[in-house]
Amino acid sequence: MRTDTGQVFRLEDYGPSDYLIPETDLTFQLDSADTRVEARLTVERRDGVAADRPLILDGDGLTLESLLVNGAPVAESDYEATADRLVLRSTPPAKRFELTLVTRTDPSANKALMGLYVSNGVFCTQCEAEGFRRITYFLDRPDVLSVYRVCLEADRKTAPLLLSNGNPTDSGELEHGRHFAVWHDPHPKPSYLFALVAGDLGAVHDTFTTASGRDVTLAIYVEHGKEARATYAMDALKRSMRWDEERFGREYDLDVFNIVAVSDFNMGAMENKGLNIFNDKYVLADPETATDMDFANIEAIIAHEYFHNWTGNRITCRDWFQLCLKEGLTVYRDHEFSADQRSRAVKRIAEVRTLRAHQFPEDQGPLAHPVRPRRYREINNFYTATVYEKGSEVVRMIRTLLGADKFRAGMDLYFERHDGQAVTIEDFVRCFEEVSGADLAQFALWYHQAGTPNITASGRYNGRAREFTLEIEQSVPPTPSEARKRLMHIPLAFGLVGSNGEDMTFDGADGATVEDGVIHVRKRKHVIRFKGIGARPVVSLNRGFSAPVTLSLEASAEDRMFLARHDNDLFSRWQALNTLFTEALIEATQRIRGGKEAAFPDELLAYPAEIASDETLGAAYRAQALTLPAEADIAREIGSSIDPDAIHAAISGLREAIGSQCAGTFGELHEALDSGETFTPDAASAGRRALRNVLLDYLSAGTGTPEHATRQFETADNMTAMAAALAVLAHQFPHSPQTAQALAQFEERYRGNPLVLDKWFMVQATTPGPDAVERVRGLMAHEAFSLANPNRVRALIGTFASANQTGFHRADGEGYRFLAETVLAIEKDNPQLAARLAIAFRSWRSLEKKRQEHAREALATISQAKELSRDLRDIVERTLA
């Protein structure tokens, strides 16, 4: 475990390395307890660098067995090898030389799941960000690109499959039942994209012919017996490959493309060149075991990793500060892909929900950082919602500023100019400036300045002057180490909606640049006058969520309801209704805290029946519209002195009120949606299931009985219907015998399927109420639970801490103490996983006083622990700061 040294890495300290490694030749003698790694590195001194400049290679927990320079041993006084670096005091006079080093590792003892490890008997690797240095000493930084040749040797019986990056070039038998395979990757790549897999796995195979006629052999490897569950992923892969050709003109560039699913993985998946390694959760799916959400996630993540081949692999990051260069852009690309495959509006709503749930609290709390950070202590902690999701929003805004054609031209220029390079955000932005002539200097602050901008807006209509005046103000709140903020360039898509529901035209506007339905906010305050307006419009602002800001738009409930019914932008219709729900819930929360009963406006209780049965809207959209804000959404909106119990009571009250008011319509629709059709994972069928499940939630709350849910649970023929019914039972009727029975049946039926059992853990981890902590503690003793498996840990501990507001934030602090203790236990083996869990503490300062105090104590317990990892210390200290 890397303990903290207090070292901080700074963007301004970047300098190119003195040496390069144009070629890397690796031989692995794989053995689960003792693997020998021989690295033959062709090293090149950069022009102008003297031979007495030391060559310093990174290592992490390594032991050096031997070292040769140009085939000859090196005198002990000429080098120094420690666990975390190898220093060659000087190098040979010739510019190019060869370094041969042998290291040994014990993959079966690697529980951090970085570097070379064993998952369920399969050797695999994870090298991003700094895992390669756990395999051999190397210039382990993304701007050192190397052509790799890899020879894998292993026992044929236990590891018949030997994979690495690139194309296979040779294979054969060795003595003692061993065999070998050689792989060559012609594309120079950084070490973080290196991968190998060796084991005994089943596969689905397919082929893909690229636009220019190149045949690519595709394979997805999974545990034996699970092959049928990989066919959806294969289909998603082929759709992704075609889409990238059509939308971005990007073709695949090797003869083979392999995906391997492993059961122990710290993140979702990894884009290693030609050999993507996946968390099996994001590969395996069939109707019986996977929900529609699982199918959608698989489609998105398969696409994401595949798209990295161009945005990340062919063009990579100069340094880790530039992480959003590949991640934000690739998330943008996978969002666009999913939007094209499904309903664009529904996809956008889901994206915004995710952004608000994960990125906004990050941006508004102690862990806030710019999309392109300037400093870090542990890079693993920067795989954040800000880098990924806000990073994607920034690319999306570039598309809004430039329009579709210039955006595509900018992307084309980027691919052409920087192919084969390791570059920066400045290089990326410059491409768009050059193709459009636009000055993106102010806009680029989105990359450099942390914090979610706030926009306040209000409008006034003057009938005599036929003018509508819109006042818009921006402010960016202070964030850690950035007290003063500069003004941003914020593109707000908008419409002035007339009483017939159509956008009104106007004769011009002054006070801001208004172009193509977008207001360009660049100053602190704009007073925009729209001229030639014959009647009072209702303003629809930030349509499509064109900018990732918080918006307070002064508007009456009538105007919001009008937009919810009539805006021609589907996202904004959803937003208007969501705002009404949010405002009502905030008020109800305050009443409850004041000892009063919650009360809700009549129209808000009646409208859900109208929208549920509005056949002009897709079912998936209706499901989104009917889904109430989450507890965390209301907490974020309230912002300070939060009492999660009151919020929970308010939401339960609204659900119940809508459920009983709309019982007739909802009941009929719930029934009618049970068409008995055979399951297909397409978006339209998934939408009908989503709507049915939302209705079930309301119906159960309205009637106050578990009957509907029990019936749906018992008759479900797919996991989407079954898991939703189980959640309603467990969350709304935690103490009913029907719930106990359903939980027991589910456990019994899926005992042998860890990914499905995770849903069982999750549903119980998110059951609200003060007894949740004890329940979760109890479940940790379940035979299927293991602290060593990240998916199990996230399902039980992660969802408890991040998605059970009343359980985790229990008033006596027991939830916090539990998390602190568990995080410390996990950290011993897997610091990265532990640090991610600890993020649940980040909003502690917005809680009411007593909870704040308990949370602070729990954080202090972690920070006082001895020998804390760099990962955890970094999170805890920034959270406490």
Q: Which residues bind ligand 0A1 (CB under 6 A)?
A: 126, 128, 266-271, 304-305, 327, 383
Q: Return the structure tokens found at 549.
A: 């800001």
At closest approach, how far in Å is the CB of 304 from ligand 0A1? 6
Nearer to Zn ion, 330 or 338 (CB): 330
Instruction: Tell me the CA distances in angstroms from 856 to 480, 851, 862, one per residue in order.
Output: 18, 8, 10
Instruction: Tell me the CA distances in angstroms from 222 to 4, 65, 311, 653, one per residue in order.
Output: 37, 35, 26, 45
**Residue type (1 letter), 339:** A
At closest approach, how far in Å is the CB of 330 from Zn ion? 5
Nearer to ligand 0A1, 266 or 767 (CB): 266
Nearer to Zn ion, 29 or 330 (CB): 330
Give long-range contacts, CB 8 A cutoff, 24+ apart: 666-673: 666/608, 666/609, 666/612, 666/695, 666/698, 666/699, 666/702, 667/699, 669/612, 669/613, 669/695, 670/695, 670/696, 670/699, 670/708, 673/619
At closest approach, how far in Å is the CB of 30 from ligand 0A1? 21
At closest approach, how far in Å is the CB of 683 from ligand 0A1? 23
Give long-range contacts, CB 8 A cutoff, 24+ apart: 86-89: 86/56, 86/57, 86/59, 86/62, 86/137, 87/54, 87/55, 87/56, 87/57, 88/54, 88/55, 88/56, 88/57, 89/52, 89/54
Round to whole Å and give the CA distance between 423 and 568: 40
Other Cβ atoms less than 10 A from the Cβ of 575: the count is 26
First vs last Cα of the chain: how many Å apart? 24
**Residue number, nearest CB to ligand 0A1:** 267
Nearer to ligand 0A1, 304 or 333 (CB): 304
At closest approach, how far in Å is the CB of 270 from ligand 0A1? 4
At closest approach, how far in Å is the CB of 688 from Zn ion? 31
Please, are residues 425 and 324 in contact by the beta-carbon 8 Å criterion? yes
Nearer to ligand 0A1, 316 or 341 (CB): 316
Nearer to ligand 0A1, 265 or 571 (CB): 265
Contacts of 544 (CB under 8 A, 6+ apart): 348, 493, 569, 571, 572
Residue 54, contacted partner among ligand 0A1, Zn ion, none, CB below 5-8 A by kind: none
Residue 504, contacted partner among ligand 0A1, Zn ion, none, CB below 5-8 A by kind: none
Round to whole Å and give the CA distance between 129 and 114: 9
Nearer to ligand 0A1, 259 or 518 (CB): 259
Residue (of 453, 189, 224, 458) closest to 316 by Cα position: 189
Q: Return the structure tokens found at 56.
A: 């310093």
At closest approach, how far in Å is the CB of 422 from ligand 0A1? 15
Which residues inside 318-337 make contact with Zn ion, applying CB under 5 A? Answer: 327, 330
Round to whole Å and give the CA distance between 368 and 479: 6
Q: Catalytic amino acids?
A: 305
Other Cβ atoms less than 10 A from the Cβ of 593: the count is 16
Please, are residues 508 and 496 in contact by the beta-carbon 8 Å criterion? no
At closest approach, how far in Å is the CB of 332 from Zn ion? 11
Bridge partners of residue 40, in order along the sequence: 25, 100
Residue (of 132, 412, 379) closest to 272 by Cα position: 132
Nearer to ligand 0A1, 305 or 637 (CB): 305
Bridge partners of residue 41, in order along the sequence: 24, 99
At closest approach, how far in Å is the CB of 58 from ligand 0A1? 16
Residue 31, contacted partner among Zn ion, ligand 0A1, none, CB below 5-8 A by kind: none
At closest approach, how far in Å is the CB of 57 from ligand 0A1? 21
Helix (H, G, I), strand (E, B) or coil at 724: helix
At closest approach, how far in Å is the CB of 271 from ligand 0A1? 6
Residues written for the chain: 881
The dihedrals phi and psi of 461, each to the nearest 5 degrees, come to -110, 135
Residue 351, contacted partner among ligand 0A1, Zn ion, none, CB below 5-8 A by kind: none
Q: Return the structure tokens found at 207.
A: 């082929």
Nearer to Zn ion, 302 or 649 (CB): 302
Residue 126, contacted partner among ligand 0A1, Zn ion, none, CB below 5-8 A by kind: ligand 0A1
Give long-range contacts, CB 8 A cutoff, 24+ apart: 734-741: 734/767, 734/768, 734/769, 736/706, 738/706, 738/709, 738/710, 739/706
Nearer to ligand 0A1, 304 or 636 (CB): 304
x/- contact string, 99-138, with Zn ion (CB under 5 A)? ----------------------------------------
Residue 739, contacted partner among Zn ion, ligand 0A1, none, CB below 5-8 A by kind: none
Beta-strand runs (E) in 106-159: 115-119, 122-126, 146-155
Instruction: Specify the pairing of strand 316-317 against strand 422-423.
Output: parallel
Residue (of 139, 122, 116, 109) closest to 44 by Cα position: 139
Nearer to ligand 0A1, 124 or 584 (CB): 124
Residue 24, contacted partner among ligand 0A1, Zn ion, none, CB below 5-8 A by kind: none
Residue 128, contacted partner among Zn ion, ligand 0A1, none, CB below 5-8 A by kind: ligand 0A1
Residue (of 438, 526, 427) closest to 474 by Cα position: 526
Which residues make up the interface to Zn ion (CB under 5 A)?
327, 330
